[in-house]
Amino acid sequence: MRQIKKILSSPAEAAKGFPETGTKYCIILEHLRLGGSINKYEALLLGESCLSATICNMCVDFDLKVSRHQEKAKDLSGGYSYATRYKLTKQDTIKLNAIKLRGSDE
């Protein structure tokens, strides 16, 4: 049996620039970058229907470590349900500020 050697890619060195303005991705990223936190019910009001996938993409694209915690939140029907609240760490906020600043110089 042959063994396949896996080659791990290096973490993204933030080679990607800041996303296009006005997209759902950019709106969520900017909200988090400015110190906000968000859960799936709040994201729905911003037009984001799949917040967990968007957060996952951000983590991959910018090598982020987003903090997550469960909370009881008011859902759209007025009842309460459990949801995950997402917030950037201080290191990630600094990283995204540098990417945004670098992008504005170009």
Farthest-apart Cα atoms in the chain, separation: 58
Indicate if the pLDDT at residue 100 is higher than 70.
yes
74 found inside a domain:
yes
Number of domains present in the structure of the chain: 1
Say whether 9 sits in a helix, a strand or coil: coil
50 found inside a domain:
yes
**How does pLDDT run across 14-73, given as a tens digit for each residue?**
446 677 777 888 889 999 999 999 999 999 988 899 999 999 999 998 899 999 999 999
| pLDDT band of 103, cuts 50, 70, 90 | low
pTM of the complete model: 0.75
Q: 40: domain CATH number?
A: 1.10.10
The CA distance from 50 to 28, in Å, is: 11
Q: Domain range holding 96?
A: 24-105
**Nearest partner of 89 among 57, 71, 62, judged by Cα:** 62
9 found inside a domain:
no
State the DSSP string of 8-61. Answer: PPPPP-S-S-PPPTTSHHHHHHHHHHTT-EE-HHHHHHTT-S-HHHHHHHHHHH
